[in-house]
């Protein structure tokens, strides 16, 4: 056999192995979560970081945080040394001496594990680990066929299934869309069940009322066993402060419930610059840090060592209309700063995502998404909640954007792998083999790296224009529309023990029956 | 007057001033070029950088570069110490001892000025300066109305006008599209004239034949005066190596012509991984560095101190079809590495841009564009040639994508400004003014920063869904389609001295008349 024949044979056999038949699978990139190989993009100097931290301490010490409707959390902080001022019978201003909250947070883990019911899908949150989860909290859903309408539990289940099928997401998320056809006081049961039944990944529970938080955790006890839940994080709650500098009782009670159960919680100020925070980025970041630190600290007072995730949701504003804007440059810079601050605090960080104000899965949508998402991955965020589906300023969950975003998340797997520099990857021998003017198609180096050199998108059209045109000349959104339908048509639910399934259903039926529907 | 009245009055009067009537103008961001305030995103360690540099030196010293059809450039390198091996009567292999090319490059400026005919538009290239120019070299143009067709001189002029009208581009570029309705041997005259007549920004000249390079510079002598041209860079040529490791005579003669005239040149390997370079990023970067360094070195042998720009155009490949792909993660990482290497070499860098393989200005187009463009701005590239219009793997120049890209370039102005951390921007007083639970709309801090806090896009829809829907519910591409037409309809040419204009036209007529049309 000649060298040329050898090369051809080698090339053919290598092409067949390893790479999956379908684009977008990229088996060599598949992991339960990303371990970031790229360094973070650090934009602030030590001095600037110290100034922001000092301002956060001043906010906590001199302005304080107002707590409402939860005397227990106030007592916890009072016992820890906070200066409490009664404002009304049900509201208090709490001030924290410089360093006090940072000290309380020293017991929080820098990195922790959230166990999935399929152990292969268990994720780590913190350090160089990075988890992508679907978008969260939209009342509406959208697709190209039916446009925008209120979300239903059927939509919710569809998105859980689509997320489960994506090799580029790691987590099932939480309130992917609001299932508005289910009573407000009961929908959490159906949402948690959908995550448990149609996905075998980790997920988020309800936080909209203390009893709904309890129900979410109770369902986990049925799924995982009560002892296991007490010793492991299997669910998390995503909590919002009421910016500026207020924490309401529903939130703090929810945080206490998750922490007491040893479960995880995310602590997210929603900062719309110019409205509830300074519209200068430095100020928004300082306020974000202060609010999220105080919120995180509750967990450590309830149960030291329970997992808490620092959160950042910095939004800009249209100066023409006052509307919040997403996927703009200033919040992207804020995310990069928050990454640095979170590492100094040794807490995991949630921030940014595939944000957009667009109403369609169009060029604006993906350009804005990238501006925000790149900041998340480059700042070293550990949990990126709005990784797929976000449109319409978070008011709508888009089927097509979900597909495009999930594919983009795959590209980010390749990006975050970085690249190795060693004798093999430097490829000197490959260049020397043919020398000047000779192509490298058949070099051993090319054959060796052919399977895994480049991200292989499931959605991007890379064909010649003529081929693309002959095949209908459709845009990315139209391809995404076909894909989500095909995905749902081929979905297969992961196995779930029938006894467990029955126990979950019984719990839901019993809980639903015990109360009338409420729609607020 | 009460404090509240005072605030309201202050707010109203401040809102009126400073901000332009039209979105996307952002007067506070308008500059002839960007001075980057953000640090670069450095992803490689010192050790990795040294390994890449050592491999580049080995390529130059052990494999060598093949030169064709230009004995003069071979003699220049021979005199400088290169080891020359005759391959044929018209081709030579040149090897360069380690460090030799780096030494030759030590006379090249780290930063230089390209003068525009309007001095307000003069740009700097190198250091923390960054220049955005339109895309370059597509044979086809596209718009939503007429689809894809060959470019004409009318299209070319349209794009020069659109670039001139954008506050977010800094440079008129070069062969924005091929004017295929003009003879190949004459079109450079019409292109250079269009840049001179319809723009008052800096631009690139022809490189497709030595006499066309001469003509381009001669037209500059008419526009600027011969002495001025000899002492200032007023035009640049964008030269491609013939990878792997070949430089043809048309290219090297062109480089010598620009350098001899004291004009700038860009030295760009086109590296399609797996075809003409290793498909591992480390290898592609090492080869890119070697090829571009040798190409740049020609300028210093011809005229030490003449401006030369290191270039990087690293492309990935579809492993399914062998087609080049753009806007993918691996070349983005390559750009980040090239930024580090260019700074170590103290040369300005051109790399990346708003790349895409999409055939429409859709979600794929803008997602891929961002992946590439973010790498360019984050690596500290100094000249970003394909900043607007790139679609179809560079085969087509898109009117709509040009508009979307130019708007994105505006967002990048805001991004690259970074943010300041000081007592004012930290905004503690603004938060303290109202305290917990109080919005910041009317604080002095908000009023003071209101005009310039956030990027104000000309293209992104930030309205509530209902308003957007009532107004027709169109996507970003459709808005861009309306905008380029409105822009062209309102275009006004910058003044040009009638005598100079006449002299340019006479030169063109004389040159065209002196030769028959050639179409190859």
Which residue in chain B has the smallest CA separation from A360? B475
What is the dihedral sign for C-alpha A181, A186, A190, A192?
positive
Distance of residue B463 Cα from the nearest chain A Cα, in angstroms: 7
With pLDDT > 70 as the criterion, what percentage of chain B qualifies? Answer: 96
HEC string for B220-288: HHHHHCHHHHHHCECCEEEEECECCCEECHHHHHHHHHHHHCCCEEEEECEEEECCCECCCHHHHHHHH
Picking from A279, A453, A455, the nearest residue to B449 by CB comes out as A279
Query: What pLDDT, on a 0 to 100 scale, did the predictor assign at position B18?
Result: 44
> Is residue B214 situated within a structural domain?
yes
Instruction: Return all residues near B75 (Cβ < 8 A) that are at least 6 apart.
Output: none
Contact assignment for B434 to A318 by CB distance below 8 Å: no
The model's pLDDT over B319-371, given as tens digits with 9 standing for 90+, comes to 788 889 999 999 999 999 999 999 999 999 999 999 999 999 999 999 999 99
Picking from A378, A412, A460, the nearest residue to B364 by CB comes out as A460
Q: Which of B377, B419, B424, B479 to mutate to test the interface with A (most CBs of A within 10 A)?
A: B419
Contact assignment for A363 to B475 by CB distance below 8 Å: yes
Work out how many domains chain A is built from and give that number.
Answer: 1
List chain B residues with CB under 8 Å of A62.
432
Tally of helices (H runs) and strands (E runs) in chain B: 19, 19
Using a CB–CB cutoff of 8 Å, tell me whether A152 touches chain B: no
Angle, to 10 degrees, between the axis of helix A498-513 and the axis of helix A187-198? 170
DSSP state of A202: -
Residue B517's SS3 state is coil
A477, A480, A484, A490 alpha-carbon torsion, rounded to 10° = 160
> Is residue A26 situated within a structural domain?
no
Helices marked H in A261-324: 281-302
Query: What pLDDT, on a 0 to 100 scale, did the predictor assign at position A7?
Result: 38
Query: What pLDDT, on a 0 to 100 scale, did the predictor assign at position B172?
Result: 98
In degrees and rounded to multiples of 5, residue B83 shows phi and psi of -95, 115
Instruction: Return all residues near A138 (Cβ < 8 A) that are at least 6 apart.
Output: A151, A177, A178, A389, A390, A392, A394, A395, A396, A397
Rounded average pLDDT over B232-236: 98
Using a CB–CB cutoff of 8 Å, tell me whether B329 touches chain A: yes
The model's pLDDT over B150-162, given as tens digits with 9 standing for 90+, comes to 999 999 999 999 9
Going by C-alpha positions, the residue among B467, B146, B427 that lies closest to residue A276 is B427
The model's pLDDT over B18-53, given as tens digits with 9 standing for 90+, comes to 445 688 889 989 999 999 999 999 999 999 999 999
Alpha-carbon distance of B236 to B239, in angstroms, equals 10
The answer to whether A52 and A282 have CB atoms below 8 angstroms apart is: yes
The model's pLDDT over B381-405, given as tens digits with 9 standing for 90+, comes to 999 999 999 999 999 999 999 999 9
Structural domain boundaries, residue B349: 34-418+472-514
The rounded radius of gyration (Å) of the Cα atoms in chain B is: 24
Kindly state the tokens that stand for B231: 């002492």
CA angle A408, A413, A415 (to 5 degrees): 90
List chain B residues with CB under 8 Å of A249.
none
List chain B residues with CB under 8 Å of A446.
274, 278-279
Q: Which of A280, A295, A336, A484 to mutate to test the interface with B (most CBs of B within 10 A)?
A: A280
Alpha-carbon distance of A520 to B17, in angstroms, equals 44
The residue with tokens 């795959």 is A410
Using a CB–CB cutoff of 8 Å, tell me whether A503 touches chain B: no
Query: What pLDDT, on a 0 to 100 scale, did the predictor assign at position B82?
Result: 98
DSSP state of A72: H
Using a CB–CB cutoff of 8 Å, tell me whether B472 touches chain A: no
Q: Which of A419, A445, A476 to mutate to test the interface with B (most CBs of B within 10 A)?
A: A419
Going by C-alpha positions, the residue among A486, A213, A471, A176 that lies closest to residue A353 is A176
Cα distances from A374 to residues A173, A338, A355, A379, B415, in angstroms, run 20, 14, 11, 8, 12
> Is residue B304 situated within a structural domain?
yes
Contact assignment for B477 to A328 by CB distance below 8 Å: no
pLDDT of B496 strictly over 90: yes
Using a CB–CB cutoff of 8 Å, tell me whether B398 touches chain A: no
Contact assignment for B280 to A392 by CB distance below 8 Å: no
> Is residue B436 situated within a structural domain?
no
pTM of the model: 0.95
> Is residue A424 situated within a structural domain?
no
> Is residue A163 situated within a structural domain?
yes
Contact assignment for B366 to A371 by CB distance below 8 Å: no
Query: What pLDDT, on a 0 to 100 scale, did the predictor assign at position B4?
Result: 39
Using a CB–CB cutoff of 8 Å, tell me whether B434 touches chain A: yes
CA B18 to mean position of chain CA atoms: 29
Going by C-alpha positions, the residue among A383, A371, A382 that lies closest to residue A408 is A371
Kindly state the tokens that stand for B114: 């390209």
> Is residue A345 situated within a structural domain?
yes
Using a CB–CB cutoff of 8 Å, tell me whether A28 touches chain B: no
Using a CB–CB cutoff of 8 Å, tell me whether B17 touches chain A: no
| Buried b / exposed e along A10-39 (16+ C-beta atoms within 10 A) | ebeebeeeebeeebbbbebbeebbbebebe
Kindly state the tokens that stand for B393: 């793997």
Query: What pLDDT, on a 0 to 100 scale, did the predictor assign at position B126?
Result: 98
Average pLDDT per consecutive 10 residues, chain A (520 residues; last block may be shorter): 38 42 86 97 98 98 98 98 98 98 98 98 98 98 98 98 98 98 98 98 98 98 98 98 98 98 97 94 98 98 98 90 92 98 98 97 98 98 98 98 98 98 97 96 93 94 96 98 98 98 98 95
Query: What pLDDT, on a 0 to 100 scale, did the predictor assign at position A319?
Result: 78
Query: What pLDDT, on a 0 to 100 scale, did the predictor assign at position B433?
Result: 94
HEC string for B126-187: ECCEEEECCCCCECEEEECCCEEEECCHHHHHHHHHHHHHCCCCCCCCCCCECCCCCCCCCH
Alpha-carbon distance of B67 to B494, in angstroms, equals 43
The whole-chain average pLDDT of chain B stands at 95
Query: What pLDDT, on a 0 to 100 scale, did the predictor assign at position A321?
Result: 81
CATH of the domain at B180: 3.20.20.480
Instruction: Return all residues near B424 (Cβ < 8 A) that are at least 6 apart.
Output: A280, B445, B448
Strands (E), A321-424: 324-325, 349-351, 383-384, 390-391, 396-398
Q: Which of B436, B444, B449, B481 to mutate to test the interface with A (most CBs of A within 10 A)?
A: B436
> Is residue B508 situated within a structural domain?
yes
Query: What pLDDT, on a 0 to 100 scale, did the predictor assign at position B320?
Result: 80
Distance of residue A237 Cα from the nearest chain B Cα, in angstroms: 23
The model's pLDDT over B259-284, given as tens digits with 9 standing for 90+, comes to 999 999 999 999 999 999 999 999 99
Using a CB–CB cutoff of 8 Å, tell me whether A466 touches chain B: no
């Amino acid at each position: 056999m000649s060298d040329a024949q050898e090369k051809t044979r080698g090339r053919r056999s290598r092409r067949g192995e390893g790479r999956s038949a379908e684009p977008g699978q990229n088996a060599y990139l598949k992991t339960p979560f990303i371990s970031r190989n790229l360094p973070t993009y650090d934009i602030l100097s030590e001095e600037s970081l110290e100034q922001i931290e000092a301002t956060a301490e001043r906010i906590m010490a001199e302005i304080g945080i107002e707590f409402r409707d939860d005397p227990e959390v106030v007592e916890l902080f009072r016992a820890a040394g906070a200066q409490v001022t009664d404002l009304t019978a049900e509201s208090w201003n709490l001030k924290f001496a410089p360093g006090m909250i940072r000290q309380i947070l020293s017991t929080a883990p820098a990195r922790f594990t959230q166990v999935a019911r399929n152990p292969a899908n268990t994720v780590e949150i913190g350090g160089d680990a990075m988890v992508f989860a679907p978008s969260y909290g939209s009342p509406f859903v959208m697709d190209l066929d039916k446009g925008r309408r209120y979300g239903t539990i059927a939509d919710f289940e569809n998105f859980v299934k689509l997320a489960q099928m994506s090799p580029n997401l790691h987590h099932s998320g939480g309130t992917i869309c609001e299932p508005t056809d289910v009573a407000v006081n009961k929908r959490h049961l159906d949402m948690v069940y959908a995550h448990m039944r149609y996905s075998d990944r980790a997920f988020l529970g309800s936080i909209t009322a203390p009893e709904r938080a309890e129900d979410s955790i109770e369902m986990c006890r049925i799924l995982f066993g009560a002892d296991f839940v007490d010793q492991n994080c299997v669910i998390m709650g995503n909590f919002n402060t009421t910016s500026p500098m207020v924490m309401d009782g529903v939130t703090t009670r929810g945080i206490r419930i998750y922490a007491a159960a040893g479960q995880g919680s995310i602590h997210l100020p929603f900062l719309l610059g110019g409205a509830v925070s300074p519209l200068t980025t430095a100020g928004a970041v300082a306020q974000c840090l202060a609010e999220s630190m105080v919120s995180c600290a509750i967990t450590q007072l309830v149960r030291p060592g329970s997992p808490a995730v620092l959160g950042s949701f910095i939004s800009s504003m249209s100066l023409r209309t006052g509307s919040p804007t997403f996927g703009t440059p200033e919040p992207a810079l804020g995310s990069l700063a928050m990454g640095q601050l979170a590492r100094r605090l040794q807490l995991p960080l949630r921030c940014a995502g595939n944000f957009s104000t667009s109403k369609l899965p169009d060029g604006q949508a993906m350009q804005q998404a990238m501006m925000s998402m790149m900041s998340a991955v480059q700042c070293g965020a550990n949990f990126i909640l709005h990784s797929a589906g976000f449109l319409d300023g978070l008011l709508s969950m888009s089927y097509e954007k979900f597909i495009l975003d999930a594919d983009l998340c795959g590209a980010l797997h390749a990006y975050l792998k970085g690249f190795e520099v060693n004798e093999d990857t430097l490829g000197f021998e490959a260049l020397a083999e043919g020398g000047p003017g000779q192509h490298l198609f058949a070099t051993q180096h090319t054959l060796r790296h052919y399977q895994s050199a480049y991200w292989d998108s499931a959605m991007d059209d890379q064909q010649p224009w003529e081929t693309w045109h002959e095949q209908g000349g459709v845009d990315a959104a139209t391809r995404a529309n076909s894909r989500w339908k095909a995905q749902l048509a081929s979905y297969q639910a992961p196995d779930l023990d029938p006894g467990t399934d029955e126990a979950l259903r019984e719990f839901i039926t019993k809980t639903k029956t015990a109360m009338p529907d409420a729609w607020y």
